[in-house]
Amino acid sequence: MSIDTPETSGGPHVISEASYAEVARSEEFGRLRKTFRGFVFPVTIAFFLWYALYVFLSAYARDFMGTKIVGNINVGLVFGLLQFVSTFVIAWWYAHWAGRKLDPLADDIRHKMEGDSEVTS
């Protein structure tokens, strides 16, 4: 029934609080945190502003939104469709980026902590 094999849930590994604290201070984890936040925070702000612009224009720039581009297709419709496009693109971009940049860093740290591999960093 299930297709994915468990990747991280191989039973609860017992990891002490002290080793979490140590990892949290490590340079390696610092890099993971910085990489993660360096992507998701700016992108979140960007798509939020882009969406807010759309809502503002819907409220305060009606004539602009109603400007026809081709036939009965106006700026408002295209702007709305672009919100769909940007959502799809950001989702794809994040997944692609995370697979390349984030997952290897996270895997390294996890394997070391769970002590079940000889992964070298």
Partner 1 sequence: MSAREITIVLFVILVIVTLGITVWAGRQTKSAVDFYAGGRSFSGFQNGMAISGDYMSAASFLGIAGIIALSGYDGFLYSIGFLVAWLVALLLIAELMRNSGKYTMADVLAFRMRQRPVRTAAAVSTITVSIFYLLAQMVGAGALVALLLGIKPGQTFLGMDADTAKVATIILVGALMIIYVTVGGMKGTTYVQIIKAILLMSGAALMTILVLAAYKFNLSDLLGDAAKQSGKGDAFLKPGLRYGVESADAMKTFYSKMDLLSLGIALVLGTAGLPHILIRFYTVPSARAARKSVLWAIGIIGTFYLMTLALGFGAAALVGGKAITAQDKAGNIAAPLLAENLGERYLGGENGGAVLLAVIAAVAFATILAVVAGLTLASSSSLAHDFYANVVKRGQVSERQEVVVARISALGIGAVSIVLAIFAQSLNVAFLVALAFAVAASANLPAILYSLFWKRFTTSGAVAAIYGGLISAVVLVFFSPVVSGSPTAMFPDSDWHWFPLSNPGIISIPIGFLCGYVGTLLSKDPAAEEKYAELEVRSLTGAGAQ
Interface residues toward partner 1, by CB under 8 A: 1-9, 12-15, 17, 20-21, 23-25, 29, 32-33, 36, 40, 43-44, 47-48, 51-52, 54-56, 58-60, 62, 65-66, 70-74, 76-77, 80-81, 83-84, 87-88, 90-92, 94-95, 98, 103, 106-107, 109-110, 113-114
Nearer to partner 1, 24 or 27 (CB): 24
What's the closest the beta carbon of residue 4 comes to partner 1, in angstroms? 5
What's the closest the beta carbon of residue 47 comes to partner 1, in angstroms? 5
C-alpha torsion sign, points 113, 119, 120, 121: negative
Nearer to partner 1, 27 or 91 (CB): 91
| Burial zone of 117 (CB within 10 Å; 0-12 exposed, 13-18 middle, 19+ buried) | exposed
Please work out, in degrees rounded to the nearest 5, the angle formed at the alpha carbon of residue 18 by the alpha carbons of 16 and 24. Answer: 110
What's the closest the beta carbon of residue 111 comes to partner 1, in angstroms? 9
What's the closest the beta carbon of residue 120 comes to partner 1, in angstroms? 17
C-alpha torsion sign, points 90, 95, 100, 101: positive
Residue 97's contacts (CB-CB under 8 Å, 6 or more residues apart) are 39
